Structures are given as C-alpha cells and as structure tokens.
A and B are shown apart, each in its own frame.
Chain A
C-alpha cells in the first residue's frame, strides 16, 4: 500500500497560550509533592517537592534523566505505587481543585481510567495477553460508563478507528500478540482514550518504538488531543519529542523541578545550568567534529542527595551558597509566551553566561 504521507508536522501551538487562556484554572496542580520509598539503604526521596501545573487542553512535557523522579511523579498522580515501600511524605495533587491524595480508593477508582488515563512505555507488556483487544477496550467503558455489550463493542471499534488501526472490525477480536509494537501502543492509546479523559499521562510512550513508528504515535497523540481538547502529561527523556509535542516543559533533576517554562522559552533561553548542559550534550545540536559538551558525573542516588542544590555536585558554577541553601523556584519575567518561566538556581546571572 502506498503511503498517504506529507501530513503536517507539529501543529501550531499559539492558541492555548493566549492571554485569555492564562486566566484559566489549571486542570492538575502538583503542590510540593513528595513521594519517598523506604529501602534497605535508607529513604529514597524519589520525588521530593515537585510543583507543576497542567492547564486544560495543553501538553506538559516532563523531561529528565533516569532517576530524576519523572515517572514516579506520574505514578503518584495515579496513586499506582505500592504503599509501602512508597510513601507520600507531603504535598498535594490537586485535580480540578480536589486533592487526589485525600481521596478514598473507591473515589480514586472512579477518576482513574475515566478522568485521568495513562499509557506506558512497554506496549508489549501493558496489554493482557489472554484477552482480546476488544475485551480490554470494552472493559473500561462498561465499568465507568455502564455501557452494555453491544454498545461497548461499537465504542471499541470506534476507538480503534480513531487511533488509526486498519480494519478495526477485525482487529477488535484479535489478541495482543497478533499486533505489532506500534499497533499495540495504538491500542493502549485507544483504551486510555475510551472514556474521554480530561488528562492523559503518557510515560515514555514512544521510547520502545522505532523512530518511524514513534513519529506515527506522536502525531496520533497530538491529533487526538486537538480533537478531544484533553491535557497531556508527556514524560520523556527525549528533548526532540518534547520540542515537537509539548506546550510547556518541566525539567526534573534528582526529584525536583529545576526549570519550568513554555517550550519556546526553554529551548531558546534555558536558564538552569542543568538544562543548559542537557542541550549542549545533544549530538543533534553539535557540529560534526566538535566535542560534545558534557555534564560531568552521574545523577546522585535518591538515598544520598547532596545538601542544598542537588545539581551542585555536577555544576560548573556552584559555590558554597549552593551547598547551604536549596534554591527555590523563582519566576522570571522575561517569558515570551505562556505562564511564566521559573528556575531554581542561586546563580542565574552566571548561568546566563554559560
């Protein structure tokens, strides 16, 4: 089959950042969220005071290296972490103004899969191999919407069509192993979208996929978002994926958000030394033959974060002050678009010269 190619690339993202939009209340707000794990080596402070907000209809990209706590944050929002060893040590998760951490399990189940849906990195294991695709698609709507068998099935086929699966009437009765990786991720998205969620959490949705498939899936998420007007929390380590998809970006390091800005501000004027270092180490942006700039050292272990600023052990402009006090997230007033640009660094002046 010949390709129906040449689709538009990134959709224009001006609309959601207009002045009117900024007045709106955020859909989800993390307020100093702390998720700790009790381990044999002590308390792992995987998420340790995370603040960010997602507004209706927009995509927030959360970027960070492994161990930065970005996935744990997402699982905390869904309250999918095993307690113990996990423990909510503080903060609030405000969804439409209500604290999810204060909700009962029964109340939470009504929200999970219905108002907030999630897709995972590994499409191979995220589907149950003993049920058909249709079965798993219908389960959510029957549970949350009370659809009957026939209606649920129609809905399932409808969803498969929406996520671009060819011959959905046939695919609906197939088992996950009969689908390719890209198809499975589409099915996962279809399941997540079944109940028209207000927020879709996508945890590294394309990491396990090949680039050509990744492009398909990212386009699909973007289209669905525009159609349904939902918010997306996109967790990834790939700065390219964020650039193409997100409206706002939160950069996480060692359990904290170090920088939060609109995608344009962040990519054009990164202010935190970590963000700057991250961009410099991208081979895409380096001229061939020129050495890549690197961030020395490794991400500290969650049980032994440095005092003060957590990045100071790898930071080239760190001073004694960085070891003493933890820098708070400070709002800058130089943002071109969006709702501000906040950075957690004591030495913004010096960082701007990096």
Chain B
C-alpha cells in the first residue's frame, strides 16, 4: 500500500454538556462519542453501524466540524502520494480555514424532506454551492447544474422546481447532486437511504456506487440497516454506546463476527427467507444511558457471555481477531475481553 489513507481519525470524542437551571450550570455530560480510532482509505466505503443513540451520527457530524468535537485528531491528506505535504488536522483549523476544505468533505442526510430549503428551486440549491465557492459563474453555473442533475439521474428541466414537487428518492438525488457539486473527495452518508422505500433505496444505492466508481469518492456510510451496509461497504465499524466495538472488512464482520454485540446485531436482522431457521441471539434489556455508561465493558449489562469480575471492571482494549492481521485496511479487531488473540 503505497497510497496514504485519505483520513486518519484518532480519539474522536464528543461530550455534550448537560446544563441545569437558569444560569446553565453544568450538571453532567452525554458521552455521545468517546474516543473513536479509524482510518478511511481513498475510494473506500467505511460503514459505521449501530443502534440509535450509539453516537454514529454525532461522529459523522463531528468529523466535518458541523458539531465541534471535544477532543481528537482527524488527519486529512488531500494528496495520495505518501511523500506529499503534511496531513491537515481538521480539528485544529478555524471555521474560516476550514471553509475551502469544505469542497472536499461533503455530507448527505437522512431526511429527504428536511435536507432541502423549501423556498429555493433545486437548481438554485445546487448552483448556490458552485457560486459561493467560485467554481462556476454566469451561464456556466446553469450548465454545470444540468450536468449534475443528469449525473444523479434527474431530467435537466427539473432545475426550476421546488423540493415539495419531488418524491423522497428524487430529493435524495438532489441532495447527492448538491454534495457532488463541489467535487468532494469524501462524502459522509448520514443514514442516506434509511428513509427510502425498498425499490427507491436500491436506485439510490446503485447511484452511490456508480458515482463512487466514476469520481473516486470515499464514503463514510452511517447506517443502522445492516443489509444495506453489507452490500455497499468495504469495511464496517460497529459502534455501541459511543465506542467502536468491532472494526474489520465487511466479509469478516458478517461471516466471522467476534464481538457478542455484533453477533447479536447480525442475528437480529430479519431475513427475507421464510424457510430459514436460525438460532437467534436475542438481547435482553435496552441500551444504557450514555450519560452514565456502565463500568467496564459498556456492553456487559446485556452481554450473554459476560464474565463477572472481568467484563464489568475494565473496558477491553481492541483485540485482533483470530487469524486476522493487526493493522492496515485488512485488519479485524474487536473490543472484547473474551476474544482470543493479542491486543491490537
């Protein structure tokens, strides 16, 4: 691997303060994201999966500084050559310094009804991004908007329409076109297909794949739907209560899940096959509150194999899965005391 990764994230942390009373006394904090480490290669899709409240959306938005992260480093390398310029730490930049970099880092949202300004035609919504960044001027803006709409499979004449005239899938396409307008290198897909119907979801997934091939995009694909993740991503990070519990190549995660939580998550997906008889790991109870996460391994309160005196005492360091490499894009690690193998 002579190519450097696009993004290296170390210890990404976001704690939301909880304030009380008239004067906003700090009464505690929600540890939404608590020290994430991952790398994202060029033209790669890394999925972050987890249940609601696990911090995956916060992680994605913190990475783009749409929410200010509490701590951590995000080393971004615009150039692919390893001898190139020093990486830029996105978290050290001021908002003004960050603005030009926004061209490289874009986001697509979940709710197709909220992601577009209802007062602005879709053509203007896309054109605005081009104009603000000085990518195009005058009549050129129009040409580019039409080309972008074509790229996402919309007819050119829709540019004069308002968002309310589109269906959910079409709005999602407009959102994608807007993100594409700035020719980004990375797109954070924040539950981008979760709100869509099955047949529309398939259209959008295909579109995202096509665009990735055509423009060499990297995706940070945040989702809760494991079947979509299995199909689209190269690597998967499973999050539970603000931390990554398992990280590895998609095939490894789905075929050889190491962490009990990943195993439970996978077995809970309903399969569209009525004849399939599976042994299912049904988890009891609910996700604990991120305000006061359990001591030790966050998952031990629901874990079917938790060991007293071990799991409820210390948080496990990531361990390399049996038979997997320790580092690099092919590694497979799980943060569980009971996984065999060395600490990563």
Q: CA of A295 to CA of B202 in the docked complex: distance in angstroms? A: 8
* Contact partners of B303 in chain A: CB under 8 A: 2-3
A244 partner residues in chain B, CB cutoff 8 A? 270-271, 274
Chain B positions within 8 Å of A212 at CB level: 51, 264-265, 268, 282-283
B200 touches A239 (CB 8 A): no
Contact of B202 among A10, A181, A183, A294 (CB under 8 A): A294
Quote the shortest CB–CB distance from A223 to chain B (angstroms). Answer: 12
Instruction: Judge whether B134 is part of the interface by a CB distance below 8 angstroms.
Output: no
In the bound complex, CA of A210 to CA of B280 (Å): 16
Is B197 engaged at the interface, CB distance under 8 Å to the other chain? yes
A66 within 8 A of B: yes
Contacts of B284 in A (CB 8 A): 1, 3-5, 216
Which of A180, A213, A264 is packed against the most chain B CB atoms within 10 Å? Answer: A213
B94 beta carbon closer than 8 Å to chain A: no
Does B209 sit at the interface, judged by CB under 8 A?
Answer: yes
Q: Are B282 and A284 in contact (CB under 8 A)?
A: no
What residues of B have a CB within 8 angstroms of the CB of A196 in the complex?
A: none
Measured CB to CB, the closest approach of chain A to B203, in angstroms, equals 5
| Count class of interface residues, chain B | 35 or more
Residues of chain A within 8 A of B287, CB atoms compared: 180, 210
Q: Which of B274-315 contact A (CB under 8 A)?
A: 274-287, 301-306
A210 and B51 within 8 A (CB): yes
B273 at the interface (CB under 8 A from A): yes
Q: Does A218 contact B (CB under 8 A)?
A: yes
B226 at interface, CB cutoff 8 A: yes
Q: How far is the CA of A277 from the CA of B199 in the complex (A)?
A: 8
Residue of A nearest to B289 (CB): A180
Stretch at the interface among A28-36, A74-82, A285-293, A323-331: A285-293
Q: Does A279 contact B (CB under 8 A)?
A: yes
- Candidate in B52, B265, B276, B286 with the most chain A CB atoms within 10 angstroms: B286
Report yes or no: B270 in contact with A283, Cβ–Cβ below 8 A: no
Residues of chain A within 8 A (CB-CB) of B304 are: 2-3, 5-6
B343 within 8 Å of A (CB atoms): no
Task: Kindly state the separation between the CA atoms of A178 and B174 in the bound complex, as whole angstroms.
Answer: 40
Check: A113 CB closer than 8 A to any chain B CB: no
A243 to B276, CA, bound (A): 9
| Interface presence of A197 (CB below 8 A) | no
Tell me, yes or no, whether B129 is within 8 Å of chain A by CB: no
**CB of B67, distance to nearest CB on chain A (Å):** 22
Nearest opposing residue in chain A for B280, CB measure:
A9
Q: A277 to chain B: which residues have CB within 8 Å?
A: 199
B283 to chain A, nearest CB (A): 5
State which of B227, B250, B267 has its C-beta within 8 Å of the C-beta of A282.
Answer: B227
Are A283 and B272 closer than 8 Å at their CB atoms?
Answer: no
Contact call A286/B231, Cβ cutoff below 8 A: yes
The residues of A that contact B230 with a CB separation of less than 8 Å are 283-284, 288
**Quick check: A263 and B272 within 8 Å, CB to CB?**
no
A10 to B273, CA, bound (A): 11
Q: Mark B173-187, 1 if CB is under 8 A from A, else 0.
A: 000000000000000
Q: Which residue from A215, A283, A284 sits with its C-beta under 8 Å from B268?
A: A215
Return the contact of A243 from the options B197, B274, B286 (Cβ within 8 A). B274
Task: Say whether A6 contacts B227, CB under 8 Å.
Answer: no
Residue pair B199, A3 in contact (C-beta under 8 Å): no
Interface centre among A211, A242, A299 (most CB of B within 10 A): A211
Per the bound structure, the CA–CA distance linking A242 and B205 in Å amounts to 23
Q: A237-B198, A283-B227 are in contact. Are A291 and B206 (CB under 8 A)?
A: yes
- Residues on A with beta carbons closer than 8 Å to the beta carbon of B285: 1
B232 lies within 8 A of chain A by Cβ: yes
CA distance A282 to B305 in the complex (A): 33
Complex contact A278–B198 (CB within 8 A): yes
- In B232-270, which residues have CB < 8 Å from any A CB? 232, 250-251, 264-265, 267-270
Q: Which residues of B contact A52 (CB under 8 A)?
A: none
Q: Is the CB of B271 within 8 A of A214?
A: no
Contact of A284 among B197, B203, B250, B271 (CB under 8 A): B271
Chain B residues numbered 106-120 whose CB sits less than 8 Å from any CB in chain A: none
Residue on B nearest A296 in the bound complex, by CB: B203
A305 within 8 A of B: no
Question: In the complex, are the beta carbons of B274 and A267 less than 8 A apart?
Answer: yes
Contacts of A2 in B (CB 8 A): 303-306
CB of B200, distance to nearest CB on chain A (Å): 7
Residue A7 at the B interface, CB < 8 A? Answer: yes
Shortest Cβ distance from residue B106 to the other chain A in the assembled complex, whole angstroms: 23
A3: nearest chain-B partner, CB-CB = B304
Report the Cα distance A247→B162, complex, angstroms. 43
Q: Which residues from chain A contact B224 at a C-beta distance below 8 Å?
A: 210-211
User: Who on chain A is nearest to B52 by CB?
Assistant: A210
Q: Is B70 an interface residue (CB 8 A)?
A: no
Q: A212-B51, A212-B264, A298-B167 are contacts. A283–B202 as well, Cβ < 8 Å? A: yes
With contacts A2-B306, A237-B198 known, is A216 near B228, CB below 8 A?
Answer: no
* Contact across chains for A294 and B206 when beta carbons are under 8 A apart: yes
Whether A240 pairs with B272 at a CB distance below 8 angstroms is yes
**In the complex, A132 has a CB within 8 A of chain B:** no
Flag if A283 contacts B274 (CB, 8 Å).
no
Q: A213-B286, A267-B274, A284-B230 are in contact. Are A3 and B51 (CB under 8 A)?
A: no
* Complex Cα gap A278–B283 (Å): 30
Give the CA-CA distance A277 to B200 in the complex, in Å.
11
Cα-based distance from A10 to B52 in the complex (angstroms)? 25
Question: A215: which B residues are within 8 A, CB to CB?
Answer: 267-268, 270, 280, 282-283
Interface string of A175-206 (1 = CB under 8 A from B): 00000111100000000000000000000000
A257-273 residues at the B interface, CB under 8 angstroms: 263-264, 267
Given A1-B285, A284-B230, verify A9-B198 contact (CB < 8 Å). no
Q: Is the CB of A284 within 8 A of B227?
A: yes
Sample of 23 A–B contacts (CB below 8 Å) = A1-B284, A2-B303, A5-B282, A6-B304, A9-B278, A212-B282, A212-B283, A213-B51, A215-B282, A216-B284, A237-B197, A239-B272, A243-B271, A267-B275, A277-B199, A281-B201, A283-B228, A283-B231, A291-B206, A291-B209, A292-B202, A299-B167, A299-B197
Q: Apart from A1-B302, A5-B304, A288-B251, what are 5 other A-B pairs with CB-CB below 8 Å?
A: A180-B287, A210-B51, A281-B203, A284-B230, A299-B197
For the complex of A and B, 7 pairs with smallest distance between CB atoms? A240-B270, A281-B202, A283-B231, A65-B197, A210-B51, A3-B304, A215-B268
